[in-house]
Structure 1
């Protein structure tokens, strides 16, 4: 059994989903393992991780619109607004999604479905540099 760890920095341009499946798959391929489990962890409290459809852009748009409705920016709705009106809504959106993912590896490939992609979901308005930690265990 072997292990590998690393990190990837993802640049965002503000709110929305950023697909980075290819970068994760490339990192996994560099580790030279055939079978195992990849764990991905987002090191932030105002961004999250999703596995979601990667074919129709409307899916990403609809998800972003849904989260705008359930956790809107409203200065009067939240006590915590240290970094602006998008601060607390970003924390709520992260709480409702995931900060970590686990993806099986088989035959040297991530076992994602045909239409699945790995996304960082940026919940803040301004651009950020987000770091995700990767850990692969296998052989």
Structure 2
């Protein structure tokens, strides 16, 4: 009977929330979106402990956690990715949508399309210098959609 009471307590305080966050079109580069995500999810403040999972629904952009203070880090990341995965590479065959398309898919695969961030006492547990970064790898990528799933125990 005691195990059931514990399980019932876990279920009662369990919280799940999911929604789509639309990020307006951004120029090619690395963009800090931490505030956009926080503003879209005021429910974070209700969690005592939990996780926020962000899933980008695109194959030519990426998500990462990185420097949130000095914008030169983001421009250096863009420079490194462009140096490493060059446009107009002769052996690329997926070029119908432009010379930035196949390189964008490769960059997205290198970076990934998801991040998971712990939540404690109603706040994202990002380090002092950490932020959520959207990497836009296309010259004209359009709006980007992120599925945000928040799970945890209510405070």
TM over 0.5: yes
* Separation of aligned partners in 2, 1:13 and 1:111: 26
Q: Deviations over 1:10-44 (max 9, x none)?
A: 12332111211012223343352221001000000
Would you tell me which structure has more helix in proportion to its own residues? 2
Listed one character per residue, the Cα deviations across residues 57-81 of structure 1 (whole Å, up to 9, x for unaligned) are 1101100000001111115231111
Q: Structure 2, unaligned stretches of length 5 or more? A: 1-13
Greater CA deviation, 71-80 or 123-132? 71-80
> Normalised by the size of structure 1, how large is the TM-score?
0.94
Q: Check whether the contact 2:101–2:138 (CA below 8 A) recurs between aligned residues.
A: yes
1:6 to 16, 19, 37: 19
1:25 match: secondary structure? helix
- 1:99 is matched with which residue: 86, 102, 113? 113
What is the Cα-based RMSD across aligned positions, in Å? 1.3
Hey, what does 1:21 align to over in structure 2? Answer: 34
Aligned length: 139
What is the CA deviation profile of residues 95-115 of structure 1, one whole-angstrom value per residue up to 9, with x for unaligned ones?
A: 100111110000100000001
After TM superposition, the score normalised by the length of structure 2 is 0.85
Moved segments of 4+, more than 4 Å: none
**5+ long unaligned stretches in structure 1:** none
Bigger radius of gyration among the two: 2
CA contact (8 A) 2:19 2:149 kept: yes
CA contact (8 A) 1:12 1:129 kept: yes
